Structure 1
């Protein structure tokens, strides 16, 4: 699996700031709606339901919110970079500025987990996160995410 298979260029966005974790989840839902045509409200509800089980802020300024969503036929991703980090209840208590959201079909088993592992491995690389933080252009961010993953696989 490659990030380019689950993330479209139009599903990458830079936002100057988000007022809260809840607002950021709404931003993810809106981005998923515009990029993939899924229902934004249902996407936000699914993300909030998943967050109630435990925060998806994995540390080092990175959050990986994810949810299963009826009507989604394959695992899809959305990426938001915040110019101003927001509190996300991360495990290390640090605010997040790199957010990769995943949506998977209700019945997706291993594919959802593979995608989550791939995104986690990619964003665990400090060099990739540093490159992401040094750029504010959505197309450049997409390239960093997808090329960085390809290089790792080689």
Structure 2
């Protein structure tokens, strides 16, 4: 039953995201492909990865990753920022254009979180937060978000 409930919640988050994407593109042509949208979500989730870190995470070759990144740069959704520590290294950063048009899943997470705060006691919310932290840090070792995960 737990697995089924978890899958239902996860599916609802995905479907809401898809609804919003389709609604936004109803009257205009989509400027990102599905694969590019996945790449953008990954870059945002990883923080400011390098091209090699992105390639490694996505399990694709660095040249393939560079090709995809360059397309996203041309479209204005990603920029390369030179590292202060190592001038040879560049980090990928999502642009405001991406945040404005595609960062809609976070809005729904916020809506649902506010509803949870209204529905459950502070103690219940604190317990859920603790459980989600344990799930993220201990039970999902295959995916590491680095410093973004620590918050």
TM-score for the superposition, normalised by structure 1: 0.25
Structure whose alpha-carbon radius of gyration is higher: 2
Higher normalized helix content (fraction of residues)? 2
